[in-house]
Amino acid sequence: MEDLVKFVQDEFIPKNDFPTFAAGDTITVYYEIKEGEKSRTQFFRGVVLQLRGTGRTQTFTIRKMSGTVGVERVFPLNLPAIQKIEVNKRGIVRRARIFYFRGLTGKKARIKERRG
């Protein structure tokens, strides 16, 4: 049964080529929004909190601050609406899932940048 699921995923879910990123990186996701007959491109820029799943069903969570309110969004990696992903900064973190980042404010919420 597991082989059948893997076969269907490989055959029917298209593979997108995006740059590699990890938790702690600041990325910008450009995605398409359809409003009635019109469609437009919107972007979401924030810090990657986690990468979850494997293969074609992989998702990632991004957190940004909108004023004083934190906004998180979960994107499937193979979402057809995603047009491109840009990696703005590479961050140095010691964990794969940085949920502790939600509770930090001010200078403590900074992530050191990886050079090179």
Residue-wise pLDDT for 80-100, tens only, equals 899 999 999 999 999 999 999
Beta bridge partners of 48: 62
CATH number of the domain encompassing residue 89: 2.30.30.790
Measure the CA–CA gap between 60 and 98, rounded to whole angstroms. Answer: 12
Q: pLDDT band at 106, cuts 50/70/90?
A: confident
By residue range, what is the domain housing residue 57?
A: 2-104
Measure the CA–CA gap between 96 and 84, rounded to whole angstroms. Answer: 23
Q: In this structure, what is the dihedral angle of CA atoms 65, 85, 92, 71, given to the nearest 10 degrees? A: 20
Measure the CA–CA gap between 44 and 113, rounded to whole angstroms. Answer: 20
pLDDT score for 15? 72
Q: What is the pTM of this model?
A: 0.84
Residue 94, domain member (yes or no): yes
- Specify the amino acid at residue 2: E
Residue 115, domain member (yes or no): no
Residue 116, domain member (yes or no): no
Residue 51, domain member (yes or no): yes
Say how many CA atoms lie within 13 Å of 108 toward its Cβ: 6
Of 16-20, 50-54, 76-80, 110-114, minimum mean pLDDT range? 16-20
What's 101's DSSP letter?
Answer: G
Residue 114, domain member (yes or no): no
Residue 40, domain member (yes or no): yes
Residue 42, domain member (yes or no): yes
Residue 64, domain member (yes or no): yes
pLDDT score for 16? 76
| Structural domain count of the chain | 1
What's 113's DSSP letter?
Answer: B
Q: List the beta strands (DSSP E) in 11-105.
A: 26-35, 38-52, 59-66, 69-76, 82-89
